[in-house]
Structure 1
Amino acid sequence: MNQTRPIVLAAGGTGGHMFPAEALARELLARGRRVVLVTDIRGKAFGDALPDVPVERIRAATAAPGLTGKLRMVVELVAGTAQARGLMRSLDPAAVVGFGGYPSVPTVFAAQQRGIPTILHEQNAVLGRANRLMVRRAGLICTSFPEVKGLGTADGRRIVRTGNPVRADILALRDCPYPAPTAHGAVTLLVTGGSQGAAVFGEVVPRAVALLPEDLRLRLKLVQQARTENIETARSAYITMGVQAELAPFFRDMPARLAGCHLMIGRSGAGTVAELAVAGRPSILVPYPHAMDDHQTANARALAGAGGARLLPQSEMSPESLSALLAALLADPATLSSMAKAAFAWSMPDAAQRLADAVLARIDGVSTPAGGLAA
């Protein structure tokens, strides 16, 4: 292969799209390849993390409600595609890898028009709308989940499961075995809900904890992300119960918190599911009910189906139902250990390497086995 031609990574600006792009960039750079990132003007890009990766910004807009929002998206995508065509001519890339998000569409589309090999990476268990637009002409589709809704059986020969890369500090938890709780020892419950916490967790979790058997409640050590406006109310409730609790809008040491927890309650974004699996930590997953195409439910169902999590739809999460599930799990160290082991076994810790292998094999014209790469 001609290693002087760059590999272009096209990604929307959110972390869910940008992090796997960054992980692939690191792996390709380590293998001596040139990498260029293309995102929109709002994308945070890699910043100081990878200063050697040039960044090109094009116009794009995500889907917005109403006719005006849709028209603006179309106008921006057309303008971005014109810019992307110019980039494809000047960069002459060996391949373009799309990570989803509408800002990736113009670049992948322009590459497909010029006959440049295109690879898609899908982080979720439901094919995202941007990738859905580009999938028909993509040469390879790299998935994070064994099954992805929206991919037909005819796509099978083009699909390879590479997994979803996780941060290095999460990957390091592979060397931290799951600390199964003891019969009478402290039990650590970690509750997350995004960078600002989920309001529903701030309301339901304290009420669910109050319903736990007293002996279990007094053994509980709770670490919870919560919205600023909910923290004092929740803290007062925990103090009244005699529960040791640490609450904050954001924890900067999340890998350490995950390492020490016996059970996590949280959403089921693609990154969260990948991190839980790589770390080998059991969880109760409450999918965000308004996620596009309900992809978080599909993500949670996959990990739960592998035995690594319990799926609890938000519509069914009452203080009573959550308390009953918590009591059953926290009082059963064997089940928690089994869930941890199942999550660990389901994970793909070498996702970045597998993704790079798949991309370079596509550039070389080497076929990859359907469903995954050789270990």
Structure 2
Amino acid sequence: MSAGAPLVLISAGGTGGHLFPAEALAHVLRRLGLRVVLVTDERVGALAEKFPADEVVSVPSATPSRRSLVGMIEAAGTLWRGVSASRALIRRLQPAAVVGFGGYPTVPPLVAAWMLGVPRVVHEQNGVVGRANKFLARRVSMIATGFPEVRGLPRGVRAQIVHTGNPVRQSVIEAAKTLYPAALKGAKLRLLVFGGSQGARVMSDVVPDAVAKLPPEYLRRLVITQQARDEDQTRVASTYRALEAQAEVRPFFTDLPQRIADSHLVVARSGASTVAELAAIGRPAILVPLPGALDQDQAANARTLADIGAALMLPQTDFTPERLAEELVMRFENPDLLTKAALAAKGAGRTDAAERLAAAVLGLAGIDPARLAARKQA
């Protein structure tokens, strides 16, 4: 990468939901000939090892909590130290633009960019704006959205909104080339279960018990791939062994996009990345939004697929072994339901969101893609 090439500073919280779309954008920017630096927090861990950045920088950040005045004051002090560190970083790197993907680690770099007059973008992946992005909305030049409608944005920012879709990783784009494996009556049904990058205990509590309630003729035809947390893996695997079910249970799947593509049905949480990947690949789902979330963002995400017949949204209170077993039996008996849902999901998918977001960022920063291409060829 040329040292004189324009640089984009990308900031994202240290979870997969924020980092995966940031990673997709970074790949496109680097392919176009730009340099990329990632600003994140200490949670990022191994997720940053393959992030396509010239440099990965951690700045102080904190999540303010209204439960404690002392905690709020401490968090504000930490965020201000992050802003100071980000100002120094921006002065050193001279980025053409700063792009944030949500989470409180994005606040210091975006506030610093606002103070220094650098073009700045936030990308909101969810159907309800997150607290950090809501705070930043009036301080950025552009708000890119993953869904056509995003609830909770402040008044007066509509002119800044650009719907780009949610960028998905290259592995998702490759998996999206896999045709839906037709679900046939009397044939195997491949079930994939996961709870997001951090896992979800409710999946380990409910799904094995639901499988145990299936009639024997359906149990024999079910092929299960399930993510379970380390502390739940032995319990889940033992239940399936006792049932003589065909099952693979692991704490994490590095090839999750292809496993989504190979499945007939997915049971999962409804984080923004999960919903975007299900749509891009085109697979039917039973989605269980994370309960108790302040913003109810996962419920809004799930509803986008439920409203078009691509998914069944089940509140966690309704996600019981009995209800899940009923839903599985229904799909065994009526496999056309799965095929129709897969087509609906595929129709809502967008695999070019990273390119659309990159084009918006370049336009805001005043960077000519043709001149970038000429620089790469020189």
TM-score clears 0.5: yes
Matches within 5 A, 1:1-375: 4-44=5-45, 47-50=48-51, 53-64=54-65, 66-151=68-153, 154-195=156-197, 197-364=199-366
Of stretches 174-183 and 45-54 in structure 1, the one that deviates more from structure 2 is 45-54
SS at structure 2 position matched to 1:293: coil
What displacement does 1:232 show? 4.1
CA RMSD for the aligned pairs?
2.4
Q: Which residue of 2 aligns with 1:369?
A: none
Q: Is the 8 A contact 1:141 1:158 kept in 2?
A: yes
Deviations, residues 86-144 of structure 1 (Å, cap 9, x unaligned) = 23333332221111111111111121122222111111111111111110132111111
Q: Is the 8 A contact 2:199 2:228 kept in 1?
A: yes
d(CA) in 2 for partners of 1:153, 1:328: 44
For these two proteins, the number of residue pairs brought into alignment is 364
d(CA) in 2 for partners of 1:42, 1:219: 40
- Using a 3 Å threshold, how does the CA distance of structure 1 residues 200 and 131 change in structure 2: closer, same or farther? same
SS at structure 1 position matched to 2:137: helix
Deviations, residues 239-283 of structure 1 (Å, cap 9, x unaligned) = 444432222222333233222211011111111111111111111
d(CA) in 2 for partners of 1:50, 1:317: 35
What displacement does 1:4 show? 4.5
What displacement does 1:209 show? 2.0
Query: Where does structure 2 lack aligned partners over 5 or more consecutive residues?
Result: 369-378
Deviations, residues 192-231 of structure 1 (Å, cap 9, x unaligned) = 1235642222222122223333322221112222234444
d(CA) in 2 for partners of 1:256, 1:54: 29
d(CA) in 1 for partners of 2:267, 2:344: 17
Query: Where does structure 1 lack aligned partners over 5 or more consecutive residues?
Result: 367-375
d(CA) in 2 for partners of 1:50, 1:202: 30
d(CA) in 2 for partners of 1:363, 1:334: 48
Q: Which residue of 1 aligns with 2:372?
A: none
d(CA) in 2 for partners of 1:227, 1:58: 29
d(CA) in 1 for partners of 2:68, 2:35: 41
SS at structure 1 position matched to 2:168: coil
SS at structure 2 position matched to 1:124: coil
Q: Is the 8 A contact 1:13 1:45 kept in 2?
A: no
d(CA) in 2 for partners of 1:180, 1:50: 35
d(CA) in 2 for partners of 1:154, 1:196: 36
Deviations, residues 176-195 of structure 1 (Å, cap 9, x unaligned) = 11112211111111111235
d(CA) in 2 for partners of 1:313, 1:230: 22
d(CA) in 1 for partners of 2:140, 2:99: 10
Q: Is the 8 A contact 1:62 1:73 kept in 2?
A: yes
Q: Is the 8 A contact 1:216 1:331 kept in 2?
A: no
TM-score, structure 1 as length reference: 0.89
d(CA) in 2 for partners of 1:198, 1:161: 30
Deviations, residues 264-318 of structure 1 (Å, cap 9, x unaligned) = 1111111111111111111100111143412111111112112211101101112
Q: Is the 8 A contact 1:61 1:103 kept in 2?
A: yes
